[in-house]
């Protein structure tokens, strides 16, 4: 399988703290790869580095062989790396549908000025985005809520909307930061199904998640971080048997890794 | 918005008929020619306020519009006085000059948010005043005076606009000029806000981080919006200088910048036409209170406080409230 | 040189005290108090009336300035800002309210005290002249008082129960509420304290520079400058910002004297450059 994303020697320092320390791994095309690790291990920071929200101290990120680290976030998005946020992040005062429509921005062919004048290209874009938004909303089970103002959505649906926004940008690789956080068992299982379906549609997915049963169920491979360093990498069964991983998790409070 | 197409067209036609036909007719039959000056001021101030509104729309509190109005006024005045340009040419040039300056200023300061941006822009107004005092070309505190009235504008020998100095009623001419520019500016704003650009601006206002993660070039969009805003400010300042035939460092001060902001707040930040309504109400309110003499400012600000307590979301939110109840 | 530094310190102490009040209100309620300069002017006129007109002791006058402004601040919080914050969709609405109150104070001050520049008799006579520094004794006294007030404020915020509650509130309003801090009450106390500080500085400085009804706006702008330099909502930042601005003014007025208002232009320009490098000032919390 071809490599989609390649992370090599990535390091990020915040003053004295090394949040991500010389981390390397790669994500294959159409793979679901999860990054796990105790709180504060540097997972979200890793995501911010990959999506160019932060500049790495050293090291680099390549997408399909092209260097993308250190660019502006919107350019990384244009190249196909899009992330959802750990905190629920939406456009609060827009309707659910508008949230998804606006996220089609990258696909628009008309220029800003074209939109101002309302040219033919702009109209075609608008129509296409509306249709695509409806499809995405249906896919994520949000179609009945499409005219609701986003801030009024219940929590589970907010996370789904966050993913819908990410999908609408038509990324090559989607980075999901704790997509199952705050969901009950049923909602999580529905979400797991959803993520699988996205992969079947050809998307590569990089995931951060604390919900171990879900992670083990969904992932093709895992990368384990602890104190910013990669301590293990492998299939779910390999990781579950890894001594270092068990140690790292036992060391930190009472998070269970097994099923 | 929720209005359908026909009602919208009817509303626009009615509005145009009022400002271009009904108001001049009413004024000439009543003989209250001083009202021209008042309404011209309202139109010009609402153009500057519209610019402030647009910066609100991308989530920035702009208390620096006075700086651009002052700049526009000086650019036009200097070009007319020192270089013999026609006023009609200086009008767009003043706007473009302000837009260009705002790009330079905006690139660093638009990264600031919240009160920081508000404070910096407030300071900017003060900087503009000090600059006007200090630069040789602006002639210090004495300002630039006796600027000639706008001359004739003709294209290929056809006179489109007559020389204002030859008109017997230049007040009416200025009124028509100001109102025309106002209509154009608000039409542009309406189009901006109701096209995809408006949605993009809203996305900035609501969540810049998410906007950039979906590929919006937030820095670029912010600068564009700010440049349009400053263009409005410059144009309004240039016409002001032409009407009063003078410009001083104190022509636009911090108080004006604050007032532009208040006009937007009062009209309501969620509504394109908010700044127009806000300016009209505040300006007329201020004018009406003139008879109260020394208590003018006290009553005016007192009323404003009360208004804030009763309608903290602006005058136009009243419409929304009644719609919800009904 | 020593003279410039001494002047800078004296100015800086006053400025820091003004900035502290502004930053306290901002930290607690996220309100940019446009009326801060007007509060300063009001404090100045109260001291002018009691000490300058009625001839009562300066201490009484200063106390009256502080207490009056504290009461005004408390009332403003309780009856104006609290209501608007609760009812409005946007935080920015408080800015309109603050601007309106600034106009209102301007009007009140103008009606009560007129347009004239007012001064009071010196509180201490004589001039200190040693080690290359010439400074009237009254400036020394006022400077020392300002520094004492700053120290008292910092200690109060650090160690008193009220101070600790206010710091918790400034850090995280929701968390503070969950911890049982009475948010409304401490917002009111904070607003009162911020206003009091402005009034006290007004009372102090009226003895040196006098006061007139038109300086409220410019004082607010200076206070904004200091807060931007130091970082909004941070006590240390306000103090640093105050002293830095005081120093810059003192140096600028000496070096650039021939060029008039250019000092402020230079300060503004420097601030723009500084803020583009450090958008949150020296010590400010990052935004968003
Ligand atoms: N902007 C920043 N400045 C300074 N330190 C930071 C910054 N962002 C993150 N850190 C620190 O870096 C470390 C890693 O944080 P990160 O958010 O990446 O952890 P995480 O693995 O995502 O944790 P969680 O599971 O709680 O989400 C933490 O110690 C955090 O405090
Ligand atoms: Mg995280």
Q: What are phi and psi of A254, to 5 degrees?
A: -125, 35
Q: Whose CA is nearest to atom 9 of ligand 1?
A: A45
Alpha-carbon span A64 to A158, nearest angstrom? 31
Domain boundaries, chain B: 1-32, 33-325
Selecting from B111, B112, B301 the residue whose C-beta is nearest the C-beta of C104 gives B301
pLDDT for residue A155: 79
Query: By the 8 A CB rule, do B278 and B267 touch?
Result: yes
Task: Specify the pLDDT at position C285.
Answer: 64
**Alpha carbon of A255 to those of A34, A43, A225, A246, A247: distances in Å?**
17, 16, 14, 10, 11
- Closest-CA residue to C46 (of C152, C188, C153, C205): C205
User: What is the number of residues in chain C?
Assistant: 288
Q: Which residues of C150-187 are buried (b: 16+ CB within 10 A; e: fewer)?
A: beebeeebeeeeebebbbbbbeebeebeeeebebeebb
If one counts every other C-beta atom within 10 angstroms of the C-beta of residue B183, the result is 17
Q: Which helix (H) or strand (E) holds B112?
A: none
Chain B nearest-CA residue for A165: B214
The neighbouring-strand residues paired with C135 are: C128
Cross-chain residue pair C32–B116, CB shorter than 8 Å? no
What's the Rg (C-alpha) of chain C?
19
Low-confidence ranges of chain A (pLDDT < 70): 1, 250-259
Low-confidence stretches of chain B (pLDDT < 70) are 1-3, 319-326
Which is nearest to C128 in space by CA: C3, C218, C35, C270? C3
Q: Which residues contact C137 (CB under 8 A, 6 or more apart)?
A: C124, C125, C126, C127, C128
User: What was the pLDDT predicted at C31?
Assistant: 87
Residue B323's pLDDT is what?
63
CB C84 within 8 A of CB B312: yes
Which residues touch B210 (CB under 8 Å, ≥6 apart)?
A: A85, A89, A90, A91, A165, B203
Ligand number nearest CA of A38 is 1
* pLDDT at position A259: 39
Atom of ligand 1 nearest to the CA of A48: 18
Confidence (pLDDT) at C213: 87
Q: Which residues, 6+ apart, have CB-to-CB distance to C15 below 8 Å?
A: C222, C223, C226, C241, C242, C243, C245, C246
Please provide the size of chain A in residues. Answer: 259
Instruction: Kindly provide the ipTM of the predicted complex, given to two decimals.
Output: 0.85
Give the B window 173-232 contacts with C, CB below 8 Å: 208-209
Residues C225-230 have a mean pLDDT of: 88
What is the pTM for the complete model shown? 0.87
H or E element at residue C139: helix C137-159
C221–B254 C-beta distance less than 8 A: yes
Class in CATH terms, A83-170: alpha beta
Residue A7 pairs in a beta bridge with: A25, A61
**What φ, ψ does residue A24 adopt, rounded to 5°?**
-130, 140
CB C68 within 8 A of CB C200: no
CATH topology of domain A1-80+206-259: Rossmann fold (3.40.50)
Interface touch B298/C107, C-beta < 8 Å: yes
Please tell me the distance from the alpha carbon of residue B112 to that of residue C287, in angstroms, as a whole number: 8
Let me know how many helices (H) and strands (E) chain B has, helices first: 14, 2
pLDDT band at C41 (very low <50, low <70, confident <90, very high): very high
- Closest CB to B116: pick one of C228, C269, C273: C228
Name the most confidently modeled range: B219-228, B303-312, C134-143, C266-275: B219-228
CA distance B313 to chain A (A): 15
Asked whether A215 and A232 are in contact (CB, 8 A), the reply is no
Mean local confidence (pLDDT), C157-162: 90
**Cβ-Cβ contacts under 8 Å for B56 (sequence gap 6 or more):** B62, B205, B264, B269, C92
Interchain proximity C217–B254, CB inside 8 Å: yes
What pLDDT is attached to residue C288? Answer: 30
φ and ψ at C176, to 5 degrees? -60, -40
Rounded to whole angstroms, how far apart are CA atoms C134 and C141? 14
Q: Tokens representing A197?
A: 């379906």
Which mutation among A20, A23, A45 tests ligand 1's pocket best, with the greatest number of atoms within 8 A of CB?
A: A45
| B chain contacts of residue A122, beta-carbon cutoff 8 Å | 195-196
Ligand 1 binding site (Cβ under 6 Å of any ligand atom): A 14, 17, 19, 37, 39-45, 86
Domain layout of chain A by residue ranges: 1-80+206-259, 83-170
Calculate what percentage of chain C has a pLDDT beyond 90. 40
């Amino acid at each position: 399988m071809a490599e989609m994303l390649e992370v090599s020697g990535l390091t990020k320092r915040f003053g004295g703290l090394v949040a991500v320390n010389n981390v390397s791994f790669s994500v294959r095309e159409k793979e679901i790869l999860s990054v796990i690790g105790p709180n504060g291990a540097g997972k979200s920071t890793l995501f911010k580095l990959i999506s160019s929200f932060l500049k790495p101290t050293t090291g680099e990120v390549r997408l399909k062989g092209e260097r993308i680290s250190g660019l502006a976030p919107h350019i990384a998005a244009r190249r196909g790396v899009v992330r959802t946020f750990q905190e629920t992040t939406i456009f609060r005062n827009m309707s659910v549908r508008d949230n998804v429509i606006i996220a089609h921005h990258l696909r628009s062919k008309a220029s800003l000025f074209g939109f101002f004048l309302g040219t033919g290209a702009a109209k075609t874009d608008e129509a296409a985005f509306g249709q695509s938004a409806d499809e995405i909303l249906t896919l994520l089970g949000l179609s009945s809520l499409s005219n609701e103002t986003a801030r009024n959505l219940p929590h589970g649906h907010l996370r789904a909307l966050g993913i819908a926004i990410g999908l609408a940008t038509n990324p090559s690789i989607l980075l999901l930061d704790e997509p199952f956080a705050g969901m009950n068992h049923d909602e999580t299982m529905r979400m797991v199904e959803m993520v699988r379906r996205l992969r079947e549609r050809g998307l590569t997915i990089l995931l951060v998640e604390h919900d171990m049963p879900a992670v083990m169920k969904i992932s093709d491979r895992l990368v384990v971080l602890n104190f910013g360093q990669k301590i293990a990498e492998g299939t779910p069964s390999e990781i579950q048997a890894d001594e270092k991983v068990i140690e790292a998790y036992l060391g930190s409070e009472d998070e269970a890794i097994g099923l | 918005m929720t209005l359908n197409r026909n009602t919208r067209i009817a509303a626009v036609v009615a509005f145009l008929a009022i400002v271009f036909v009904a108001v001049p007719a009413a004024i000439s039959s009543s003989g209250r020619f001083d009202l021209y000056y008042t309404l011209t001021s309202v139109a010009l101030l609402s153009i500057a306020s519209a610019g402030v509104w647009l910066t609100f729309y991308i989530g920035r509190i702009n208390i620096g519009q006075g700086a651009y109005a002052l700049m526009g006024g000086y650019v036009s005045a200097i070009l007319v006085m020192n270089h013999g340009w026609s006023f009609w040419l200086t009008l767009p040039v003043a706007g473009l000059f302000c837009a260009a300056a705002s790009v330079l200023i905006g690139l660093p300061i638009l990264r600031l948010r919240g009160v920081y941006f508000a404070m910096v822009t407030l300071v900017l107004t003060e900087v503009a005043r000090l600059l006007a005092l200090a630069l040789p070309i602006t002639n210090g505190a004495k300002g630039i005076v006796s600027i000639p009235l706008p001359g004739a504008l003709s294209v290929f020998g056809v006179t489109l606009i007559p020389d204002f100095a030859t008109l017997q009623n230049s007040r009416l001419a200025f009124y028509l000029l100001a109102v025309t520019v106002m209509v154009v500016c608000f039409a542009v704003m309406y189009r901006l806000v109701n096209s995809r650009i408006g949605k993009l601006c809203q996305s900035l206002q609501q969540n810049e981080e998410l906007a950039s993660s979906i590929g919006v070039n937030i820095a670029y969009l912010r600068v564009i919006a700010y440049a349009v805003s400053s263009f409005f400010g410059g144009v309004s300042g240039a016409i002001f200088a032409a009407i009063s035939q003078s410009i001083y460092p104190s022509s636009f001060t911090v108080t004006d910048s604050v007032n532009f902001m208040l006009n937007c707040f009062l009209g309501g930040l969620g509504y394109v036409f908010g700044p127009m309504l806000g300016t009209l109400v505040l300006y007329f309110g201020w004018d009406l209170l003139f008879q109260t003499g020394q208590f003018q400012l006290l009553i005016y600000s007192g009323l404003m406080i009360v208004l804030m307590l009763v309608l903290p979301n602006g005058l136009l939110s009243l419409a929304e409230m009644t719609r919800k109840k009904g | 040189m020593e003279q410039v530094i001494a002047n800078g310190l004296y100015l800086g102490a006053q400025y820091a005290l003004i900035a502290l009040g502004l930053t306290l209100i901002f930290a607690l309620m996220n309100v940019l108090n446009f009326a801060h300069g007007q509060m300063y002017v009001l404090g100045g006129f109260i001291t002018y009336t009691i000490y300058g007109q009625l001839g009562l002791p300066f201490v009484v006058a200063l106390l009256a300035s502080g207490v009056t402004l504290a009461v005004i601040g408390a009332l403003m919080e309780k009856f104006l800002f609290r209501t608007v914050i609760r009812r409005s969709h946007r935080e920015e609405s408080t800015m309109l309210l603050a601007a309106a109150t600034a106009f209102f104070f301007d009007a009140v001050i103008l009606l009560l005290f007129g347009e004239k520049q007012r001064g009071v008799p010196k509180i201490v006579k004589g001039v200190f002249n040693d080690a290359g520094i010439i400074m009237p004794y009254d400036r020394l006294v006022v400077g020392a008082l300002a520094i004492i007030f700053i120290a008292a404020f910092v200690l109060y915020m650090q160690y008193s129960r009220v101070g600790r509650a206010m710091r918790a509130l400034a850090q995280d309003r929701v968390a503070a509420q969950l911890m049982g801090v009475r948010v409304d009450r401490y917002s009111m106390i904070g607003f009162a304290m911020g206003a009091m500080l402005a009034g006290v500085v007004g009372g102090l400085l009226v003895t040196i520079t006098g006061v007139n009804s038109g300086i409220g706006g410019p004082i607010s702008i200076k206070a904004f400058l200091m807060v931007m330099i130091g970082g909004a909502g941070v006590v240390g930042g306000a103090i640093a910002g105050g002293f830095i601005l005081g120093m810059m003014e003192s140096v600028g007025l000496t070096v650039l004297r021939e060029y008039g208002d250019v000092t402020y232009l230079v300060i503004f320009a420097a601030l723009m450059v500084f803020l583009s490098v450090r958008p949150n000032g020296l010590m400010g919390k990052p935004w968003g």
